[in-house]
Amino acid sequence: MFPSGKLTLHGFLHKGAGDGPLPAILWNHGSERLPGRLPELGAFFSGKGYVFFVPHRRGQGRSANAGPYVMDVLRGEGGPGARSAKLVEMMEVHLQDQLAALAYLRSLPFVDPKRIAVMGCSFGGIQTLLAAESAPDIRAAVDFAGGAESWQGSPDLRARMTSAARHAKVPVFFIQAEGDYDLAPSRTLAKEMEKAGKQATIHIYPSVGRTPQENHEFCVHGVEVWGPDVVSFIEKAFGGTREK
């Protein structure tokens, strides 16, 4: 349980062994109404000695009573233009919840506040990129398929994510699987970061499913494939590697 302004939000925390201070990862969930505790990811990262925190933003999962569900808000808009603008507005609102979750994570006595990374998938990938631009004291960001379902239909989102990429303050790792809804966000944003002199890494993994949705879910079902690459990326950003 943690505060976000006047709201009380909830989530799940997976902790590695030991009293710490331990490195930590904040996971940004997507647009699903009921994000869970992500046991596969939690087990993988806590087994590597990380604290793995899955906060639920307002209107979703364990924080469902704290606000409207983001997809209901978007469906209530009158047309594509209005939905495009509202999507960015809602991402900014949810960013406040993410920043509040990061503040809570930093306050935990067993967390090393100097070794925190953010990750996220789909809507959570958008959140991750926004954090790379604006979150204080994080060291790395891993964006899984951020905007893959919204990129083509929302010029406002494309502009906002491009700006965040150009102004990112930490290294960003863009990850998708072939066959996802749209690979343009990862490819375009990695190039924008490189042009701006930022540190960007991109890896498009082979297809893991028969449908765009199955490939979109690579972020939560493919940790045995991408996990070692992500750990290597994060540890490099933290300034070294740890044997586990």
| Per-residue pLDDT reduced to its tens digit, 128-142 | 999 999 998 899 999
pLDDT band at 244 (very low <50, low <70, confident <90, very high): very low
What is the tens place of the pLDDT at every residue in 142-173? 999 999 999 999 999 999 999 999 999 999 99
Q: What is the CATH number of the domain that holds 123?
A: 3.40.50.1820
Nearest of 175, 187, 190, 165 to residue 145 by alpha carbon? 175
Domain count of the chain? Answer: 1
Structural domain that includes position 172: 2-237
pLDDT, residue 242, reads 46
Q: Are 90 and 73 in contact (CB under 8 A)?
A: yes
pLDDT, residue 2, reads 97
Q: What percent of the chain lies above the pLDDT cut of 90?
A: 91
Whether residue 63 is contained in a domain is answered as: yes
Whether residue 243 is contained in a domain is answered as: no
Q: Bridge-partner residues for 172, per DSSP?
A: 141, 200
Whether residue 242 is contained in a domain is answered as: no
In sequence order, which residues have a C-beta less than 8 Å from that of residue 212 and are 6 or more positions away? 179, 180, 181
Please say if the pLDDT value at position 34 is more than 50. Answer: yes
pLDDT, residue 128, reads 98
pLDDT, residue 241, reads 47
pLDDT, residue 76, reads 87
User: What is the average pLDDT across 103-128?
Assistant: 97
Whether residue 131 is contained in a domain is answered as: yes
Rounded to 10 deg, the angle between the 184-195 and 155-166 helix axes is 40
Please say if the pLDDT value at position 81 is more than 80. Answer: yes
Whether residue 226 is contained in a domain is answered as: yes
pLDDT band at 33 (very low <50, low <70, confident <90, very high): very high
User: What is the average pLDDT across 112-120?
Assistant: 97
The least confident of 59-68, 78-87, 117-126, 163-172 is: 78-87
Q: What is the Cα–Cα distance from 55 to 124, expressed in whole angstroms?
A: 11
CA distances from 100 to 6, 42, 71, 107, 160 (A): 11, 20, 21, 11, 21
Q: What is the Cα–Cα distance from 71 to 59, expressed in whole angstroms?
A: 9
As a whole number, the mean pLDDT across the chain is 95
